[in-house]
Amino acid sequence: MSSPDTEELATTPPPAERNAPAATEGGRFWRGLTGSLAAGMAVLAVCVVAIATICLFTGAPGPGLLMLIGHPVAAVLALLAQRVVDGRTGRVAGFAGLGVVVSVTAALSLFWWS
């Protein structure tokens, strides 16, 4: 009980996605690395804000205002750049990934490694 429609569907390959970036081995590594850095920066920003909130209620000294502003800003910049890395290919994705690395490195060097 097959109809002409089902026979055509069975023999026709599905259409390829137009916007799917071609995943090379180096590109996959770069996307994974920058994605991990962006996610780690977001988690760090949430932790800094949570610790500052706890310190506010307990009266303990906590992170300063610069840390409370800098971490979320760096996390947002890294996550926005990572969206570009995930959605594009070529130089645009490479430079956006470099933006993720620079954002995370700047936040860590300014607030933690100094």
Taking only the tens place, the pLDDT of each residue in 26-80 is 678 889 999 999 999 999 999 999 999 999 999 889 888 999 999 999 999 999 9
Write the DSSP symbol of residue 12. S
pLDDT band of residue 20 (cuts 50, 70, 90) is low
When the pLDDT of each residue in the chain is averaged and rounded to a whole number, the result is: 86
Question: Which burial class, exposed, middle or buried, applies to 88 when counting CB atoms under 10 A from its CB (0-12, 13-18, 19+)?
Answer: middle
- CA–CA distance, 107 with 72 (Å, rounded to integer): 10
For residues 48 and 73, is the Cβ–Cβ distance under 8 A? no
Percent of the chain scoring above 70 in pLDDT: 76
Q: Provide the whole-model pTM.
A: 0.75
For residues 19 and 70, is the Cβ–Cβ distance under 8 A? no
